[in-house]
Structure 1
Amino acid sequence: MIDTLSKYIPEEAVKLVHEILINHPIDIKIVNRRTTKHGDFKKLKNGSLQITLNKDLNKYQFLLTLIHEIAHLVTYKHYKRTKPHGYEWKQNFQYLMLPFLQPTIFPNNVLPVLANYLKNPKASTSSDVNLTYALKQYDEMSGKNFIFELQHGSIFTFNNKSYKKGNIRRTRFECVELSSNKTYLFNQNAEVIILK
């Protein structure tokens, strides 16, 4: 398994990941892109445990997602039933991530925002706009922008519909869908295609 994973993570992280997987073996599947999640941990109907990871993630996002899901495994093994992203998971995730917080593994622009995120990690790395933006710099060019990068009044497409960017409401942007004139709320780091 580590031979397969080594193609997706930073080279300097391979040994550390291998050590974790020796202590916490699990079936890991690399799957096509899912728009709703980067990865997941689940118990299958036959009772076995599995992690799935999207294969289109850049190596830093892939590593972060892998450790996120392994933290679910460790939490499950110790507690069986807890909140999915509760205190126990947070502690395990922080503990597992600590050895990876080094400039030989993560770039200098990612390290400080990643360290800040790990003070109180959320269910999704996407909920941290700064971390999402820092990690996005290492994606292959997609032709997309984060909605927070667009100017007020910009026209963009999202899921084959056109919208006009409006005001921010706490953490989300109000955007009007042009064909229906309905207002929708967009997360700040939603990826969209600018039209004008």
Structure 2
Amino acid sequence: MLVEVTTWYLEMLDPKQLHPVTFSDFNLRIEQAEIPSPEFSRFLYSSVGGNWYWIDRLKWNYERWFAYLNRPELETWVAYISGTPAGYIELESQPGNNVEIVYFGILQQFTGQGLGGHLLSQGVQRAWEIGAQRVWVHTCSLDSVYALPNYQARGFQIYKQEVHTQKLPDKPIGPWLGAYD
């Protein structure tokens, strides 16, 4: 199917712009995935993005995943609730002291509970800790209805908006092929 997609680019230029929120589940822990693991990263990507047409990386082979993950400028932080992966945020340090939130999201069963605001707050704080002078992200009209409002509520400002047409499958594939069949 052919759809019109709006993409918003957002940025934060000062740590004081961040409006953090906390998530008060004592079973929550957020930790860095320090060992490059294509299997785990692909699981996170497809589990979070399967409902939002995240399909670009599904074609990647093991070597491409490993090369992408095995870079010092990339950090993946994973939220766990009671030992279960609940979401993740991927940060990439870029030239000019920019840090991009490359991917961010919550697994479906954990959405709408406030975890996304907390994980995003923690990720942005980490971006400032590693030397960012600008933290930026992009989201689009295919993402969760919570995405853009969450970025804006944390203090991100839209600096650019684009509209394009994109060919997509008739429906999102879900966390794995056939998950909802």
> Normalising by structure 1, what TM-score?
0.27
User: Where is the helix percentage greater, Structure 1 or Structure 2?
Assistant: 1
User: Where is the strand percentage greater, Structure 1 or Structure 2?
Assistant: 2
Give the greater-gyration-radius structure (CA): 1
> Normalising by structure 2, what TM-score?
0.29
